[in-house]
A and B are shown apart, each in its own frame.
Chain A
Amino acid sequence: MLSGLLLLPLLAIFILNLPFRGLMQKLSLVFGLFLSVWQITFVILLWMGRGGVDYWSKHFTLSLTCDSLTLVLLLSIGIVVLTTLLVSLQTFSSEKQRFGFVNLVLVAMMGMNGTVMLTDLFSLYVFIEITAVSSFILIAFQRDTNALEGALKYIILSASATIMMLLSISIMLLVVGDTSFAAAGKAINQSAGNPLVMPAIGLFVCGLLIKGGVVPFHGWLPAAYSAAPAAASVLLAGIATKTSGIYAIIRLATSVFANNESLNHILLIAGIISILVGAFAAMGQNDFKRMLAYSSISQVGYIVLALGCGTNLAIIGAVFHLFNHSIFKSLLFVNSAAVESQSGTTDMSKLGGLGAKMPVTNATSLIAFLSTAGVPPLAGFWSKLIIIIALWQNGLHTYAVIAIVASVLTLAYLLIMQRRVFFGIPNEEGQSVREAGFGIVLTESILALITIGVGVLFPWIFNSVVMPISSFLK
């Protein structure tokens, strides 16, 4: 069944590109929606204990595994890809463009599915590159100069990160001789004093930090997120950066480089700096999407901070926050897509008072902002609470205090943004704005319901769904 997640999109792309042009262009969105919904149901079925070996696994055995961390990420990937495809229904008016877009999103989905399911360092590199290449193309999709510049910055920094990761793999090959996770982990355990191993770990983690957009390697992130077309921003911010960078660090920090002291210190410091830099930089932005990009950097800082802490509870908090963040950040970018498509601009000094004209967008944006800042009873509150409790329990009191302060700061500036864009009286430019189309409204409602649902039902699902996340740690 797992290989189906990789092979079915391949089959879909193959079918979509057969020479029946007109029919296939209409069907492309349907295929994409079907695949992402299938992925979500597959994850839910697997979580409840059903679903086993089937046709695909019998004939195409690939070395893929699936544990609880993988399931959380597969669910996030499914939801965000579904969101992206629904948004592209509204924002791409020409069917030919939408056809190319859906194909690229399917390729990105294959790349991300592969990343979260495999067990080998070099294959990790291969699938991260697949996600990165499809991201480059998606950013530059509509060929305006800003987007091309963002894409070029991303390419150069991503390639530098790749070089670092490959250098690390070559050192691994020298010392260990095999690149799978198990062999690498065993060798690192046995070779504490080898002077080559520590630089290898450091290089690989630096490469992944660049790909994940953690400070101080975040230079490409605001330009790429804000310049990309609206639907592509949803995919990028929602899941692509997190899968290639942050998931890989979680997987390596817990299984391969298990509980390395200096690694934890690096992650703690990188995390706390990201939180602060992201929060402060977001306050001074005028463009809606750039502000969301810096807010992403800040939230990813929370995940890295929790990872640096290292205890079971902290890692549960990190993974849960990753899931929540993909939901509410996608929701925020969908809202910005709605605003952009209806009013034509994302410059906040020109927008104002859109709340009366776009009620659904207004309400869902408020919910997403509150969830980002960590206000109860929404989902963001619970995951941040777990992270802060884990930090406190581990004796890292200063980090916990700084995290709480940053959270309050986040709440402050996000509410200011909400007031600037949505509340108040519309100016003359805002008079002709109407509510966004059906696809975007549907998406916003679904994502907001998920955020509220996870938040409100949290006390019930805590023991059954959230705590078993740590079952992948041995």
Chain B
Amino acid sequence: MTDLPQVFWLLSIAAALLLITGFYCLIVTYNLVRALIALEILTKSVTLFIILAGYVTGRTGMAQALAITLIVIEVVVIAVAVGIVLCVYKNIKTIDGRSLRNIKG
């Protein structure tokens, strides 16, 4: 375990890049489904951060418990969001976020 800090830094940089990717996608896209995929990527990044924190401090049990709860909650959020996107589609026949704003005026 002598390369403990190295692994930590490497993977935390990877997780930070994942975070930036997720936020970038959320800002730039106008497809509603892709926005939800961006939320998923952000969740993965945070899961990786939590597991990393657990690995470095030796508390893998606690970190796993948090990660499992996190995953379950995010599934429900995404499921409800997909339901709402499908209702939007039924109403205005497109999943383009820009037309949603145009309707509001």
**Do chains A and B make direct contact within the complex (CB under 8 angstroms)?**
yes
Size category of the binding interface on chain A: 20 to 34
The contact of A145 among B39, B57, B92, by CB within 8 Å, is B92
Complex: chain A residue closest to B79, CB-CB: A133
Given contacts A151-B84, A163-B46, A167-B49, contact A126 B91 (CB under 8 A): no
* Residues of B with C-beta under 8 A to A132: 77
Given contacts A122-B66, A143-B91, A169-B50, contact A156 B80 (CB under 8 A): no
The contact of B62 among A126, A167, A171, A173, by CB within 8 Å, is A173
Whether a CB of chain A sits under 8 angstroms from the CB of B87 is yes
Output the least CB separation between B59 and chain A (Å).
Answer: 6
Q: Which residue numbers of A lie inside 8 Å of B, CB to CB?
A: 122, 126, 129, 132-133, 136-137, 140, 143-146, 148-149, 151-152, 155-156, 159-160, 163, 166-167, 169-171, 173-174, 177-179, 223
8 contacts between A and B (CB under 8 A): A136-B80, A136-B84, A137-B80, A143-B90, A148-B84, A149-B104, A163-B42, A170-B52
Q: Which residue numbers of B lie inside 8 Å of A, CB to CB?
A: 19, 22-23, 26, 32, 35, 39, 42-43, 45-46, 49-50, 52-54, 56-57, 59, 62-63, 66, 69-70, 73, 76-77, 80-81, 84-85, 87-88, 90-92, 100-101, 103-104
Q: Are B80 and A146 in contact (CB under 8 A)?
A: no
Q: Are A173 and B91 in contact (CB under 8 A)?
A: no
Output the least CB separation between A165 and chain B (Å).
Answer: 9
CA of A342 to CA of B72 in the docked complex: distance in angstroms? 42
Given contacts A136-B81, A149-B100, A170-B50, contact A156 B35 (CB under 8 A): yes
CA of A132 to CA of B59 in the docked complex: distance in angstroms? 29
The contact of A177 among B35, B57, B88, by CB within 8 Å, is B57
CA of A136 to CA of B43 in the docked complex: distance in angstroms? 19
Complex: chain B residue closest to A149, CB-CB: B100
Q: Are B39 and A126 in contact (CB under 8 A)?
A: no
CA of A167 to CA of B12 in the docked complex: distance in angstroms? 12
* Residues of B with C-beta under 8 A to A152: 32, 81, 84-85, 88, 100
Q: Are B91 and A145 in contact (CB under 8 A)?
A: yes
Q: Are A173 and B80 in contact (CB under 8 A)?
A: no
The contact of A143 among B42, B70, B87, B100, by CB within 8 Å, is B87
CA of A145 to CA of B54 in the docked complex: distance in angstroms? 43
CA of A174 to CA of B63 in the docked complex: distance in angstroms? 10
Given contacts A143-B91, A173-B63, contact A159 B46 (CB under 8 A): no
What are the 6 tightest A-B residue pairs by CB atom distance, in nearest-first order? A170-B49, A174-B53, A173-B53, A166-B46, A170-B50, A170-B53
Given contacts A152-B88, A155-B84, contact A133 B53 (CB under 8 A): no
CA of A169 to CA of B51 in the docked complex: distance in angstroms? 12
CA of A173 to CA of B50 in the docked complex: distance in angstroms? 8
CA of A160 to CA of B39 in the docked complex: distance in angstroms? 8
Complex: chain A residue closest to B39, CB-CB: A159
Given contacts A159-B42, A163-B43, contact A146 B104 (CB under 8 A): yes
Complex: chain A residue closest to B63, CB-CB: A173
Q: Are A173 and B59 in contact (CB under 8 A)?
A: yes
* Residues of B with C-beta under 8 A to A151: 84
CA of A160 to CA of B45 in the docked complex: distance in angstroms? 13
Output the least CB separation between B104 and chain A (Å).
Answer: 6
* Residues of A with C-beta under 8 A to B62: 173, 177-178
Q: Are A155 and B77 in contact (CB under 8 A)?
A: yes
CA of A155 to CA of B76 in the docked complex: distance in angstroms? 12
